[in-house]
């Protein structure tokens, strides 16, 4: 139908000013409903399975599917298949789109809600980035975090590799980060009070035991494994995704950004 938004996943931004205005209006309309706004605020911090979103907003799957369809058609979210359990899928906010990132800026989420989900921003604790092998994604995330936030960070793996691969080291170096000398570590220590755990791969998220977690204490970033692909382009794509999310989370938590 003529005049409809072209803000669907993968679509180029409309060139016509009137179309751009309609696309913006569709995004605002999509988040102008309380259930969809709650979903978007939740996804601003991390990816979630439809079942997790259904529990969040207390809706059965058929009604949730309607709201997700509206958000997808407005170009706000997209679905991705789990790299671990291929039967699972996750819903992801399209923060790579500047229009979406602006609409759901890091201050959108309610401060009281963040305090309940992630612990008080001023509380003692760390951000703990976890992936399967602790050789690339979680290492890059911790290094990127240390550059922009004064909140301590560390990384670990559910099944640590023997070393950090050279392409992870060179990717970090290209972006002014240092991974040389870091070694993969197991996640064998109990969580500290106030820790924010961020699983940066599907396998780690699906392997972690949620027992004892505060509600929402674990975040999930579904970042494809660049080591499996083994190209510079894959590492750059993973880094870009991680860096964008790190800056968004640091801004949401209100941590002071260090000069770069």
130-143 confidence digits (pLDDT tens): 999 999 999 999 99
Residues 207-219, mean pLDDT to the nearest whole number: 65
Q: How far is CA 248 from the centre of its chain?
A: 9
Cβ pair 171, 140 in contact under 8 A: yes
For the record, the structure tokens of 240 come out as 């870009």
| pLDDT at residue number 115 | 44
Q: Does residue 88 have a pLDDT over 80?
A: yes
Residue 2: is its pLDDT beyond 70?
Answer: no
State the pLDDT confidence band at 218, using cuts at 50, 70 and 90.
confident
Mean pLDDT computed over 9-17: 61
With CA atoms as reference, report the closest residue to 140 among 110, 169, 115. Answer: 169
Distance of CA 25 to the CA centre of its chain: 25
* Contacts of 252 by beta carbon, 8 Å cutoff, 6+ apart: 44, 45, 106, 107, 109, 114
Residue 184 in this model has a pLDDT that exceeds 90: yes
Query: What pLDDT sits at residue 17?
Result: 81
Q: What's the pLDDT score for residue 226? A: 97
Task: Please determine, for residue 146, whether its predicted confidence score (pLDDT) is greater than 80.
Answer: yes
- The least confident of 49-58, 88-97, 113-122, 139-148 is 113-122
pLDDT of residue 252: 80
Ranges in the chain annotated CATH 1.10.10.10: 17-103
First and final C-alpha spacing in the chain: 47
Is the pLDDT at 4 greater than 70, yes or no? no
> Over 60: is that where the pLDDT of 10 sits?
no
pLDDT at 109 (0 to 100): 44
Residue 67 has pLDDT above 70, yes or no: yes
- pLDDT for the residue numbered 200: 97
List the strands of the sheet with 196-199, edge to edge.
Answer: 153-157, 127-131, 196-199, 218-220
Q: CA-CA distances (angstroms) from residue 87 to 9, 21, 63, 184, 227?
A: 21, 38, 21, 29, 22
> Mean of the pLDDT values across residues 221-225?
96
* CATH number given to 120-253: 3.40.50.2300
Q: Quick one: which of 189, 191, 194 has its CA closest to 124?
A: 194
Tokens 């099944």 locate to 159
Which residue did the predictor score with more confidence, 73 or 16?
73
122 pLDDT more than 80: no
Q: How far is it, in rounded angstroms, from Cα 86 to Cα 82?
A: 5
Average pLDDT, the chain: 84
pLDDT (0 to 100) of residue 108? 44
Inter-residue contact 44 to 248 (CB < 8 Å): yes
> Which residue ranges does the chain devote to CATH 3.40.50.2300?
120-253
Please give the average per-residue pLDDT across 175-183, as a whole number. Answer: 92
Rounded CA-CA distance 81/138 in Å is: 20
Return the closest-CA partner of residue 255 out of 137, 159, 114, 155: 114
Q: How many helices (H) and strands (E) does the chain have?
A: 11, 6
Please give the CATH topology (third level) of the domain spanning 17-103: Arc Repressor Mutant, subunit A (1.10.10)
């Amino acid at each position: 139908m003529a005049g409809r938004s072209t803000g669907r996943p993968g679509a180029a931004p409309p060139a016509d000013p009137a179309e751009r205005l309609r696309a913006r209006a569709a995004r605002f309309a999509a988040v102008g409903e309380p259930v969809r706004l709650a979903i978007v605020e939740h996804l601003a911090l991390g990816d979630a399975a439809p079942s997790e979103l259904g529990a969040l907003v207390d809706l059965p799957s058929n009604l949730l599917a309607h709201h997700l369809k509206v958000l997808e058609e407005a170009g706000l979210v997209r679905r991705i298949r789990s790299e671990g359990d291929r039967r699972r899928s996750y819903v992801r906010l399209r923060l790579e789109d500047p229009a979406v990132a602006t609409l759901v800026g890091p201050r959108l989420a309610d401060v009281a809600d963040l305090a309940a989900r992630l612990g008080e921003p001023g509380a003692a604790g760390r951000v703990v980035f976890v992936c399967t092998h602790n050789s690339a994604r979680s290492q890059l995330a911790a290094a990127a975090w240390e550059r922009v936030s004064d909140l301590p960070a560390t990384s670990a793996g559910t099944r640590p590799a023997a070393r950090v691969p050279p392409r992870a080291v060179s990717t970090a170096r290209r972006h002014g980060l240092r991974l040389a000398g870091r070694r993969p570590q197991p996640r064998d220590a109990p969580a500290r009070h106030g820790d924010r755990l961020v699983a940066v791969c599907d396998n780690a998220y699906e392997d972690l035991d949620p027992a004892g977690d505060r509600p929402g204490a674990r975040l999930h970033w579904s970042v494809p494994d660049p080591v499996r692909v083994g190209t510079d382009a894959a590492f750059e794509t993973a880094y870009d995704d991680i860096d964008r999310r790190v800056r968004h989370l640091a801004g949401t938590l209100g941590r002071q950004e260090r000069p770069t």
